[in-house]
């Protein structure tokens, strides 16, 4: 297993993981326009992707969107896009990927918003400080 920073050079593998992730959680499949926007955000450094590859095949991913956080008055990151191909789950990849992404991104803290059913999983990965509820606004 190799833990890597995912760039636009690995967009085909990232697309495949994103499509599987969205299907698994019951959301719409991303469009070519969505992926073009994502590619541009990656290029500009607005979002950082990390992953795990097995023999060259991308089998896990997560993203960190850098931001400034008054939680610790330094660069923080929003953790999202966490997905591991089902046959690779429960092998320690999740914990290693979170640690790798955290260290490589250089952020001082990570926050994650999750469904109630995922709380215990994120706690087991080290997200143990509760900051209340997370809501999204969209016009």
Q: Would you tell me how many other CB atoms lie within 10 Å of the CB of residue 135?
A: 6
Identify the pLDDT of residue 90.
94
User: Could you read off the pLDDT tens digit of each residue along the chain, which spans 139 residues?
Assistant: 999 999 999 999 999 999 999 999 899 999 999 999 999 999 999 999 999 999 999 999 999 999 998 888 999 999 999 999 999 999 999 999 999 999 999 999 999 988 888 989 999 999 998 888 777 777 7
Say yes or no: domain 2-124 is CATH 3.40.630.30: yes
Domain boundaries, the chain: 2-124
Stated pTM of the model: 0.91
Angle ∠(84,53,12) on CA atoms, nearest 5: 85
Contact 62, 50 (CB under 8 A): yes
Identify the pLDDT of residue 136.
73
């Amino acid at each position: 297993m190799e833990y890597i920073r995912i760039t636009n050079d690995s967009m085909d593998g990232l697309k495949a993981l994103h499509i599987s992730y969205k299907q698994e959680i019951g959301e719409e499949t991303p469009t070519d326009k969505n992926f073009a926007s994502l590619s541009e955000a990656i290029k500009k450094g607005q979002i950082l992707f990390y992953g795990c590859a097995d023999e060259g095949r991308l089998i896990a991913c997560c993203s960190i969107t850098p931001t400034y956080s008054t939680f610790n008055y330094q660069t923080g990151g929003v953790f999202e896009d966490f997905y591991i191909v089902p046959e690779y789950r429960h092998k320690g990849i999740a914990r290693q990927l979170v640690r790798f992404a955290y260290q490589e991104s250089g952020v001082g803290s990570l926050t994650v918003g999750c469904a109630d059913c995922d709380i215990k999983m994120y706690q087991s990965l080290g997200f143990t400080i509760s900051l209340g509820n997370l809501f999204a606004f969209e016009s």
